[in-house]
Structure 1
Amino acid sequence: MIRRVRRLLTAVAGTLIATACALALAGTNAAHAAAPKPKPAAGVDITGDELDEPLRLRAETHPGEVTAILDQVSWLGRTGQQRGPKAADLGPKYTVVVLAVDVPTKTYDLYPLAKGGPRIYRPAQQPDRSKTLAGWFYGRLNMSETLRSAGAPLEPQFDTLSGGIGGGERAAAEESLDPAQDIDAALAELQRLLLLNAGVMVVITAGLAGIALLVRRRTR
């Protein structure tokens, strides 16, 4: 009788653990599947100094230019510096509007010739009404050449060509100054996993308690 009870206990416990593991895996996959995927950008509009009309670049006709412009702003972290350079030190300004299916989603102000290195300002109010913190960021050293290649009236900057002295890197390691680009998403994912694991433990504990109660009744 005792052996049968032990076998029953082992089998049920194994089933509960396997079921809990399956639930945990399913919950993790569901969390990843539920995360919204960003829509691919369809193009960019650029306005700024000495531009008589906006530069309207679309991925279908100017894929290289659109990708290069997006690379200038796609890495920005959640928070930036609250104060930027003095207005006299900013130089020419170019406003980039990112489009998805011809609908404006993001906007940035680029200053390729700012004193101390290229700068980017991200306004708090975005076209897609997303919650964004306004801030200043250091830009990539090849910002001027990227904008010039897209059609902006800027003088060539041979020392910042990709592979040259500038190498296309940022003027400052902004990612090292602000490593929280994806930390919010990581913390949210960790919280979901912790809650899921807690639920699994509750299921296992309740199952074992039920088994123990069943065994106790049968052995009386």
Structure 2
Amino acid sequence: MVRKVRRLLAAVAAGALAALCTLTLVDAPAAQAAPKPKLPPAGVDITGDRLDQPLQLRADSRPAEVNAVIDQVKWLGQTGQQRGPGAKDLGPKYTVVVLTGGNPAKTYDLYPLAKGGPRVYRPAKQPDLSKPRAGWFFGRLNMSETLRGVGVPLEKQFDTLSGGIGGGERVIPEEALDPVQDIDDAMGELQRLLLLNVGVVVIITAGLAGIALLVRRRTR
């Protein structure tokens, strides 16, 4: 009797184990095939002077513009200047919020028309609860043209050349390319140099003549 009970329990246990393995094998492909939830695209939101509504740029529809704006702030170091320009020298302010997965992650204040060149201010309080050191940084020279290119209402700046979104360099002033003015300046400098040399030669000659006369008197 005991043997029969043991055999019956062993058969029931084997059947349960087989059923469990079958269910696991059936459910595994279904679990693997289940699509992962799609995260919202990364992007940036821009608010500021003369913007009635936030300028919302998303990577799935405007990737070049998003990358261009992020390029203005992604290179900032750990430590910036503790004091920035005076309020009267900053010009219009634009706040850029960088989104990750649809949620605000980083925020920066951009001043493209600041006196002395574009500036960036990074607050210590960040949306992702990170705590970087607050500081001021010199911005890229093409900041104004980059923001204007993505829709910020800024006047075109003629002191930069934008080689597409995200690029820029100083332009040589037109007056520096005037060959006539360069020749006149060079001739004027040459004339002043010649007069200076003549003056030095006259002084040296007079000095030598005086020394020679003094020596001659003493030797008599």
**1:158 positional shift:** 3.3
1:103 equivalent to 2:103? Answer yes
1:149 equivalent to 2:149? Answer yes
User: Is 1:112–1:143's contact at 8 Å kept on the other side of the alignment?
Assistant: yes
The CA RMSD over aligned residues, in Å, is 2.2
**Segments of 4+ in structure 1 off by > 2 A?**
161-164, 167-170
Larger Rg: 2
Query: For residues 173-188 of structure 1, what are the structure 2 equivalents within 5 Å?
Result: none
Letter in 2 for 1:125: K
Query: For residues 14-33 of structure 1, what are the structure 2 equivalents within 5 Å?
Result: none
Aligned to 2:138: 138
Taking the aligned partners of 1:145 and 1:69, their CA distance within structure 2 comes to 11
Letter in 2 for 1:80: G
**1:163 positional shift:** 4.4
Taking the aligned partners of 1:135 and 1:169, their CA distance within structure 2 comes to 25
Taking the aligned partners of 1:169 and 1:77, their CA distance within structure 2 comes to 21
Percent identity, please.
77
Taking the aligned partners of 1:71 and 1:101, their CA distance within structure 2 comes to 18
Taking the aligned partners of 2:56 and 2:169, their CA distance within structure 1 comes to 26
What's the TM-score, normalizing by structure 1? 0.56
Aligned to 1:158: 158
Letter in 1 for 2:146: T
Taking the aligned partners of 2:143 and 2:94, their CA distance within structure 1 comes to 11
Structure 1 residues without counterparts, runs of 5 or longer: 1-40, 171-220
The alignment of Structure 1 onto Structure 2 pairs a total of residues equal to: 130
After superposition, give the CA deviation of every residue in 1:35-82 in whole Å (9 maximum; x if it has no partner).
Answer: xxxxxx700000000000000000011111100000000000000000
Aligned to 2:113: 113
Aligned to 1:43: 43
What's the TM-score, normalizing by structure 2? 0.56
User: Is 1:140–1:169's contact at 8 Å kept on the other side of the alignment?
Assistant: no
Letter in 1 for 2:102: D
Of structures 1 and 2, the one scoring higher in RCO (CA 8 A, sep 6+) is 1
Tell me the SS of whatever aligns to 1:113: coil
**1:93 positional shift:** 0.2
Taking the aligned partners of 2:86 and 2:157, their CA distance within structure 1 comes to 23
